[in-house]
Amino acid sequence: MSDIQIELAGETYELECKLGAFKSISERFGGFVGAFRKLAEVDIDAIAFIIAAGAGKPRNSKEVEKITERLFEEGLEETLPKLTEYLSLLSAGGVKRKEAQSESEGER
């Protein structure tokens, strides 16, 4: 499984591809298309929720607000591409496309 690290205002969030994050993000946004749409819209609350879910943090308003403050301090330039990559990995069960292709070719 692949993980993505996001550094926000001195704190590192390790976004892990786990079932809990998979379900939580899907439920919150009505599926992964909705989550990608929120990233494209640069919805700060959605971004903070995805980070909290991926890092295994509580998704309550206090934790999401703390992440939102750190996003403001750090900016989004480096965060958005990493979150896009994370959602892609998570929606594929944590396996990169090339890894999945190599594994399936090795089974032949």
Q: How far apart are CA 108 and CA 94, in angstroms?
A: 22
Phi and psi at 4, nearest 5°, equal -120, 135
Q: Each residue of 8-22: pLDDT tens digit?
A: 999 999 999 999 999
Structural domain boundaries, residue 24: 4-106
Beta strands 4-8 and 11-15: pairing type? antiparallel
Say how many domains are in the chain: 1
Tokens of 24: 């939580």
Residue type, 33: V
Q: Is the pLDDT of residue 74 over 80?
A: yes
Residue 97 pLDDT level (bands cut at 50, 70, 90): low
The residue among 51, 54, 52, 46 whose CA lies nearest residue 29 is 46
The residue among 69, 81, 70 whose CA lies nearest residue 8 is 70
> What integer is the mean pLDDT of 68-74?
95
